[in-house]
Amino acid sequence: MAFARTCSVALVGVDGVVVEVQADLEPGLAAFSLVGLADKALLEARDRVRAAVSNSGEKWPLRKLTVGLTPASVPKSGSGYDLAVACAVLAAAERLDPASIDGMLIIGELGLDGRVRPVRGVLPAVLAAADAGYRQIVVAEQTAAEAKLVPGVSVLGVRSLRQLIAILTNAPVPDEPPDPSTGRPDSSFAGLLLPGLGVRDLTSDQAVRPDLADVAGQYEARQALEIAAAGGHHLYLKGPPGAGKTMLAERLPALLPPLTPSEALEVTAIHSVAGLLPPDRPLIDTPPYCAPHHSTTMPAIVGGGTGLPRPGAVSLAHRGVLFLDEAPEFPVRVLDALRQPLESGEVMIARAAGSMRLPARFLLCLAANPCPCGRYSLRGEGCECTPVMVNRYQARLSGPLLDRVDLQVQVAGVTKAELMQQGGKAESTATVAARVREARARAAARLADTPWRTNAEVPGHELRTRWQLAPGSLADAERDLDRGLLTARGLDRVLRVAWTVADLAGRNCPNRSDIQTALTLRTGVQRVLRPTDRRNDPRYPYEDAGTDTDPGGES
């Protein structure tokens, strides 16, 4: 019987679909037909596979050859089917036993010399194979460590088609020399990267890790950074150039706790599909940091592109930080496109070739100058912008977008005393990160029986009904709501921030001071408890209730 089959995987976003690769040989004029809704790169596999088989010392069958990829309705792209096609053809030509590859799933690109090259998306592909019941997986040697992250599967990493043929026929395995590109960036990944998305690793190298102690002054911004990390709240830093907004944002990922095993697999799968997974780091276990340039296009931020969509910056920042520096310089359409993933934690992309859902639960950090020249906040000194220019510049960040940002902090310029201070007492990243972990643990214990993990994910209805606050705690927030200074969504987000402030302080429930802190960080208006209010609030934590100055810094 001149028929054989094996399996590979088609990627649809970050999800995999098992594809059966069938090869059929019939008498007739020598020809090679590949069917199954393949793209240009996959159609070129006919030439790659023929050359690889011949250069591996095998005879190419001179008959009518048809290779089918089923299900035919699923779009298939890329070069990851090469190795599976070659094995199916050799099995149909009776060079391999068809039974030896029937229950095997094979992923890999073939070079013309028969060498097996790595492809992107190996982790989600193996996850899909494991869910479908496949236990024997063959991949390129460079991606074997990535594939072995999936439990319950047996992974075989090969360097060449010759090695795989020898293993399947129980022949001596040839000792292939290592890839010539070892020690240099792998050329096979060069065309798969998504340029301009600003994905950077700021947390893996302890020696050069940015430390929060390097930031001079900015005590309110540091507090907002800690609250954002503890509760997963979005942050907006606004202030003049050189105030330290970018420094603060770059130190935010290190404050986040390490990813859980399931989160690490999610993040690694996304980066693997995008071709951004470092060869020497098969598992990403720290929160990612993505800082795209303001000239980045809409598909690069949200996801998309020609054909089937690819992950954008919002997905590459999943479970991490998406930093938009000079946020008003981004196109308005791009900024407003962030509103849906900020609410749902995912992005839905529809294209002519298909639709897909991509995870996008990130912590958004915006940074902006107060005006085009950046000096508007310095009491107008030296600012050359007209009021119309200032209003137009600030209006590029729409109200609906800012309404979804919990913390909006004014970052003032650093003073001479703060900048020249020797032996500063600023807390380090490790100290603040320890408090963040304790606050997250308190929130996790409270949310243990719910589908939410952080305070920023809890719906406002649940905060108002399941966990009751003390009477009168929401007096200031209700007053702002009546005046139209706070929307219903804004009230919910104030409650979320207040719970995070209470978690950081070790309290079981927010008090009125925590609500006022949340309001201050959202509106920029300082809130002070009146002496009578403090005497009537038994849970106010400070002993001195006769002054209008809050020693805890909430006023």
The reply to whether 507 falls in a domain is no
Domain termination site, one of 135, 154, 169? 169
pLDDT of the residue at 383: 83
Query: Per the domain annotation, does 434 fall within a domain?
Result: no
Q: What are the pLDDT digits (tens) for 44-85?
A: 999 999 999 999 999 999 999 999 999 998 889 889 999 999
The reply to whether 221 and 303 lie within a common domain is yes
Q: How far apart are alpha carbons 155 and 143 in whole angstroms?
A: 10
Residue 142 lies in a domain: yes
Report how many domains make up the chain: 2
Dihedral sign for Cα atoms in the order 48, 53, 59, 62:
negative
Same domain (yes/no): 401, 271:
yes
37, 72 Cβ separation under 8 angstroms: yes
Residues 128 and 262 occupy one common structural domain = no
Domain containing residue 218 = 212-415
Q: Is 84 contained in some domain?
A: yes
Within a domain: 506: no
Q: Is the pLDDT of residue 202 over 90?
A: no
Same domain, 153 and 239: no
- Pairwise pLDDT comparison (198 vs 38), residue with the higher score: 38
Q: Diameter of the chain by CA atoms?
A: 99
CATH number for the domain spanning 225: value is: 3.40.50.300
Asked if residue 242 and residue 162 are part of one domain, the reply reads: no
Q: What does the pLDDT look like over 256-268, one tens digit per residue?
A: 999 999 999 999 9
**What angle is formed at CA 99 by the lines to CA 98 and CA 100, rounded to 5 degrees?**
90
Whether residue 156 is found in the same domain as residue 86:
yes
Q: Which domain CATH number covers 129?
A: 3.30.230.10
- Would residue 178 count as lying in a domain? no
In a domain, 541, yes or no: no
- Looking at the predicted structure, is the pLDDT value of residue 181 above 80? no
Q: Residue 7: which residues within 8 A CB-CB, separation 6 or more?
A: 18, 19, 20, 21, 84, 104, 105, 106, 129, 134
- Of 151, 169, 187, which residue constitutes the final position of a domain? 169
With contact defined as beta carbons under 8 Å apart, do 195 and 276 qualify? no
What percentage of the chain has pLDDT greater than the value 70? 86
Residue 514 within any structural domain of the chain: no
Question: Residues 220, 165: one domain?
Answer: no
Query: Angle, to 10 degrees, between the axis of helix 219-231 and the axis of helix 488-505?
Result: 100
* Whole-structure pTM value: 0.86
Distance CA 316, CA 123 (A): 15
**Same domain, yes or no, for 134 and 283?**
no
